Structure 1
Amino acid sequence: MFRRAFWFTTGAAAGVWATAKVQRKLRSLAPDALAVRAAGKAVDTGHRLKDFALDVKAGMAQREGELNDALGLDAPPPGKAAGPGLPAQARRPQLGPAHHRQGPDRPYDRNEDH
């Protein structure tokens, strides 16, 4: 009699445990839970990529400084701006309206270039 009660209780406990585990798994596979988990992983990946880009940028600046010191290039060459971009004479001139072939009153024509 005790043996039957033991196995009945063990089976009932195993059934409750299995049911709870299946329900937990189903809840974790629900669309809302999957979306939240995917969004969290995307944010984490974005943070890792940003950290990587910052590390690469810092390494590039450090290496550029080392190369400049090794080559004796501490100051920018004369005639060049210290900031980013090209000097004024090296920039492309802005094209005026005469250089625009396509516009609202003139649609693109493939045969125009031949």
Structure 2
Amino acid sequence: MFRRTFWFTTGVAAGVWATTKVNRKLRQLTPESLAATAANKALETGQRLRDRAVGFALDVRDNMAQREAELGDALGINATVDPELPAPRRYTAIENRTNPKYVDPTYPTYTYNRNEDH
């Protein structure tokens, strides 16, 4: 008698467990559930990609600032200026020929006007 009751109870429990599993799986396979699952996966993937892109951009920005500092040190741009030294002179790259101080060395200058001799 106990043996039959044990096996009957075991069968009922197995049937309830199997029915529950099957019903859960059927609910997971409905079109609405599949669409929701796909949307959630897409959102998670987008979030992961965005986090990686932001991390990459921050790494690039940090490395760029470090490299600019290295170049500034190598070229002397970031060097401190000694207050006793005068400021560096700036030379013009193109001469200003309209400046009255400009004298063309190829143009001869005379102390007299040729028109006054006649």
TM-score when normalising by structure 1: 0.61
Amino acid of the structure 1 residue aligned with 2:21: K
* Consecutive unaligned residues in structure 1, runs of 5 or more: 76-114
Q: Counting helix residues as a fraction of each chain, which structure ranks higher?
A: 1
Q: Distance in 2 between matches of 1:20 and 1:7?
A: 20
Q: Distance in 2 between matches of 1:2 and 1:54?
A: 67
Q: Is 1:11 aligned to residue 4 of structure 2?
A: no
- Greater CA radius of gyration, 1 or 2? 2
Matching residue of 1:59? 59
* Consecutive unaligned residues in structure 2, runs of 5 or more: 79-118
TM-score when normalising by structure 2: 0.59
Q: Is 1:45 aligned to residue 55 of structure 2?
A: no
Cα deviation for residue 51 of structure 1 reads 1.0
Pairing 1:72-91 to 2, within 5 Å after superposition: 72=72
Runs (4 or more) in structure 1 with deviation over 3 Å come to none
Q: Distance in 2 between matches of 1:51 and 1:6?
A: 56
Matched pairs, number: 75
